[in-house]
Amino acid sequence: MTAPPAAIEAHQGEGEDAIHPAPTRFLRRYVFSTDHKVIGRQFLFLGLVFLAVGGVMAMLIRWQLARPGVPVPILGRVLYGRSGGVISPVAYTALFTMHGTIMIFFAVTPILIGGFGNFLVPLLIGARDMAFPRLNMISFWTMAASTSVLTASFFVPLGTANAGWTAYATLSTTIGTPGVGQTMWVVAIYLNGSASVMGAVNYITTVIRLRAPGMTYMRMPITVWGFFLTSVLNALFVPVLAAGMVLLFFDRVFGTQFFIAGSTIRGGGDPILYQHLFWLFGHPEVYILILPAWGVVTDLLAFFARKPAFGYRVTVGALIAIVVLSSVVYGHHMFTTGMSPLLGESFMVLTMIISVPTALLFLNWLGTLWRGAMRLTTPMLFCVGLVFTFGIGGLTGLFLADIVADMYLHDTYFVVGHFHLIMAAALLLSSFAAVYFWFPKMFGRMMSERLGKLHFWPTFVALNLVFIGQLLLGYAGMQRRLYDPSVYDFLRPLLPLNRFISDTAYLLGAAQLVFVVNFFWSLFRGKPAEPNPWQVGTLEWTVPSPPPHHNFDRLPTVVRGPHELGSPEARARGKDWLAQDEIVEIVESAEESR
C-alpha cells in the first residue's frame, strides 16, 4: 500500500539482516538472555506464579467474608498458626493489600505485557528481536528484584504493607503504617514501575523502527496496536506513580511532609495530592492492562470467525481515542473527596465520553462474528467469554461515572465487582486465550483442547457469578475492605450471598488446577505443533514452532493485512488464509489490495 519507511530499508543490509548465533552457555541462553522469546517466557512464568499466589490470597479473603472468625482449614495452620488458624484483622488488611498489588503489578502486568508483549511484538511485526535487547533483559531483572523486595516484606517486623493497594496517604505514611513492610512495598512498586517503563520504551521503539518492509501501521495485527498503545501510556504515566512513590518514600523515611496533614501530627502537606498522583497513573493503568487484552481478542475473534476483523480502522481509531481520553478521566476515582463541582462534572462528562469509543470497539467485535464461520476452539471460547463479561463490566462503569450514583456506590462492593469484571475476569479470560493460542508457538507443543474446554466452562461461569454477586453486594450497600461485615446490622442479611460468592470462588480456584495440569502436561507431552496449527496469516505462524533464535531466516516483506481470511486470492489456492508475506501470482484487483 504505502512504501516501507526509509529508515527500515536503510537497515536492510548488514545491521538488521545480520543473524547472530544463539548463545551456547546456559546462563546467557536461559537466565541472562537478551532473546525476546526467552525473556517473554521468563515474564510469563513469573506472572503465572504470582497469579497463583494472588489467587490463594483471594480465596483467604473470601473465606473470611463467608465465615468470619472461623479458622482457615489446612492453610490456616501454616499461615496463621499463632491465632489458631483464624485470619486476624491486621492479617486481613495485609491480604487485600497484597492481593491487589500482586494481581495488578506482579501477575497481569508480567503475563500480558511482559510475557506476551515480549514474545509477540517482534514476531508479529517481522523483526529479529527488540530494538534494545539488553534493556529488555534489565527490565526483566528489575522486575525480579521488585518481586524479591515484595516477597521479603512478608518477613519483617510488623509484617507486610496493609494500606490497601492504592496506599492512600496518610494511612500509607508512618501515621497509619509504621512498619518497614510498607516502605518495602513502596520500593517494590517503584522498581516494578521502572521495569515497566524500560519495557515501554523498548516496545515503542521496536514498533516504530523495526517493522518489516511493507508492515505499515494499518497492516499491524491489533495485538501489536494493543501493546504499542499500552506502552505509550506506560511511558507517560508510570513515571507519575514513580514520583508519588518517591515522595511517599521521603515522607516515610526522611520525615518530609508531602502528604502529611492533620492534627495528630501537624504537617503542611496534602493527602489529596497523593490521590491525584496515584489516579493520574491509576486510571490509565486500567487501560494499560486492558489494551493488550483488547488487541488479542480483536485478532483472535477474526481468526476463529474466519473473517477479516470488522472495521479495522475504526477499531484502531477507537483504541487511540481511548488512550487519549484515559488520561483525563481519573478524577472519577475521587468524586467523594469533595472536589470542586466544575472539576467533578468535567471528569464525569469526560468519563462518559469514553463509552463511545468503547462501544465502537465492542460493536466491531460483534461485527467480526456476524456471518463468520466460527471455530469454537479453546482460545475462541475464552474470547467469546470475554465479550460477554466485558459487556457487563463496561456497562456497570456507567453507574460509577455518574456522580449522583457514585455517592452511594463509591467504595462499595459495586466498585469491586465492576473492576474485577474488567481487571480480573476480562483480563484472565484474554490471558488464557493468549496462552492457549500462542502456547504452540512458544513451546512447540499443542495444549489439550479437551482439558482446555474443561477449564473454560467452570472458569467462565464462576467468574461471572462471583463478580456479579459482588455487584449485588454493593447495590445492597456493603463497603469494601471490611474484616467482618456483620458488625453492621444492615449488612447481616448479606451473609448468605457472601457465602455463595465464596463457595463459587473456591470452584473457580479449583478449576484453575485443570489449567495447571494442562500447561505442564502439554509442555512435556503435548502433541508437537506444526508451524501454523490455527491456519492464520500473521507472521509468527510463518516460522517454525518454536521460532529459531533469529526468528526469521529472511526478513519478510509484508503484502497484506493481518486477517485476510476467506479472500478470493486465498480461495484460488484452495485455502481460506494467506500469510501476511505470501506472494500470490494472480494480479490483485484494486479492491482486494489491503
Partner 1 sequence: MRIEIPPDVSVDGHLVDGVLGYLTWATGILFLVAVGVLVVSLVRDRARPGRATGAYTHGDRRRDQLLTLAVGLIMFFAVDAVLAARAHRALSDRFWRYPDGDPRALRVEVTARQWSWTFRTAGPDGRFATPDDVVTLGELHVPVGRPIFLKLRSKDVVHSLYLPNFRTKLDAIPGSTTRMWIEATTPGTYEIGCAQHCGTSHYKMRGLLVVEPEESYRAWLERAETDSRLRYDAAHPAAAEGWDWEHGS
Map the footprint of partner 1 across residues 455-514, applying CB under 8 A. 472-473, 475-477, 479-485, 487-490, 493-494, 496-497, 500
Choices 135-143, 166-174, 207-215, 509-517 (CB under 8 A): range interacting with partner 1: 166-174
- Restricted to residues 323-342, the positions that interact with partner 1 (CB under 8 A) are 336-338, 341
Q: Is residue 349 within the footprint of partner 1 (CB under 8 A)? A: yes
Q: Within a 10 A sphere around the Cβ of 479, how many other Cβ atoms?
A: 16
Q: Which is nearer to partner 1, 387 or 517 (CB)?
A: 387
Q: Which of 154, 408, 457, 520 binds partner 1 (CB under 8 A)?
A: 408
Q: Is residue 175 within the footprint of partner 1 (CB under 8 A)? A: yes
Choices 35-43, 279-287, 353-361, 517-525 (CB under 8 A): range interacting with partner 1: 353-361
Query: Which of 189, 140, 125 has the alpha carbon at shortest distance from 40?
Result: 140
Q: Which residues contact 437 (CB under 8 A, 6 or more apart)?
A: 296, 300, 379, 534
Pairwise CA distance, residues 89 & 74, whole Å: 19
Per-position DSSP letters for 266-324, written without gaps between them: --S--HHHHHHHHHHHHHHHHHHHHHHHHHHHHHHHHHHHTSPPTTHHHHHHHHHHHHH
- Restricted to residues 246-305, the positions that interact with partner 1 (CB under 8 A) are 260-264, 267, 269-272, 305
- Restricted to residues 55-84, the positions that interact with partner 1 (CB under 8 A) are none
- Restricted to residues 84-103, the positions that interact with partner 1 (CB under 8 A) are 89-90, 93
Q: Is residue 352 within the footprint of partner 1 (CB under 8 A)? A: yes
Three-state SS at 445: strand
Pairwise CA distance, residues 324 & 52, whole Å: 33
Q: Which is nearer to partner 1, 280 or 415 (CB)?
A: 415
Choices 206-214, 372-380, 458-466, 547-555 (CB under 8 A): range interacting with partner 1: 372-380
Q: Is residue 584 within the footprint of partner 1 (CB under 8 A)? A: no
Pairwise CA distance, residues 339 & 496, whole Å: 37
Which residue do the cell numbers 457487563 mark?
A: 392
> What's the distance, Cα to Cα, between the start and end of the chain in Å?
7
Helix or strand holding residue 419 (H, E): helix 413-419
Shortest distance, position 418 Cβ to partner 1, whole Å = 12
Q: Which of 396, 430, 504, 551 binds partner 1 (CB under 8 A)?
A: 396
Q: Which is nearer to partner 1, 527 or 571 (CB)?
A: 571
Report the chain's C-alpha Rg in angstroms: 24
Q: By rule CB under 8 A, what count of residues binds partner 1?
A: 108
CA 550 from centre of chain: 27
Choices 38-46, 168-176, 276-284, 525-533 (CB under 8 A): range interacting with partner 1: 168-176
Q: Is residue 407 within the footprint of partner 1 (CB under 8 A)? A: yes
The number of CA neighbours under 13 Å toward the Cβ of 571 is 7
Task: List the x/- string, 120-159, binding to partner 1 by CB under 8 A.
Answer: ----------------------------------------
Q: Is residue 404 within the footprint of partner 1 (CB under 8 A)? A: yes
The number of CA neighbours under 13 Å toward the Cβ of 123 is 28
Q: Which of 25, 82, 371, 554 binds partner 1 (CB under 8 A)?
A: 371
Q: Is residue 527 within the footprint of partner 1 (CB under 8 A)? A: no
Exposed (0-12), middle (13-18) or buried (19+): which is 264, by Cβ within 10 Å?
exposed
Pairwise CA distance, residues 183 & 275, whole Å: 18
Shortest distance, position 202 Cβ to partner 1, whole Å = 31
Q: Which of 131, 215, 240, 369 binds partner 1 (CB under 8 A)?
A: 369
Shortest distance, position 210 Cβ to partner 1, whole Å = 27
Q: Is residue 306 within the footprint of partner 1 (CB under 8 A)? A: yes
Q: Is residue 412 within the footprint of partner 1 (CB under 8 A)? A: yes
Q: Which is nearer to partner 1, 22 or 90 (CB)?
A: 90
Q: Which is nearer to partner 1, 118 or 153 (CB)?
A: 153
- Restricted to residues 230-249, the positions that interact with partner 1 (CB under 8 A) are none
377 is written with which cell numbers? 476452539
Q: Which of 43, 203, 362, 436 binds partner 1 (CB under 8 A)?
A: 362
Q: Is residue 566 within the footprint of partner 1 (CB under 8 A)? A: yes
Shortest distance, position 482 Cβ to partner 1, whole Å = 4
Three-state SS at 528: strand
Q: Is residue 405 within the footprint of partner 1 (CB under 8 A)? A: yes
Report how far apart, in Å, the C-alpha atoms of 39 and of each of 46, 122, 139, 211, 359 are. 10, 12, 9, 20, 35
Q: Which of 20, 77, 134, 375 binds partner 1 (CB under 8 A)?
A: 375
> 546: alpha, beta or left, given left = phi > 0 and alpha = psi -120 to 50?
beta
Q: Which is nearer to partner 1, 12 or 337 (CB)?
A: 337
DSSP state of 537: -
Q: Is residue 2 within the footprint of partner 1 (CB under 8 A)? A: no
Report how far apart, in Å, the C-alpha atoms of 434 and of each of 232, 299, 442, 443 are. 22, 11, 11, 13
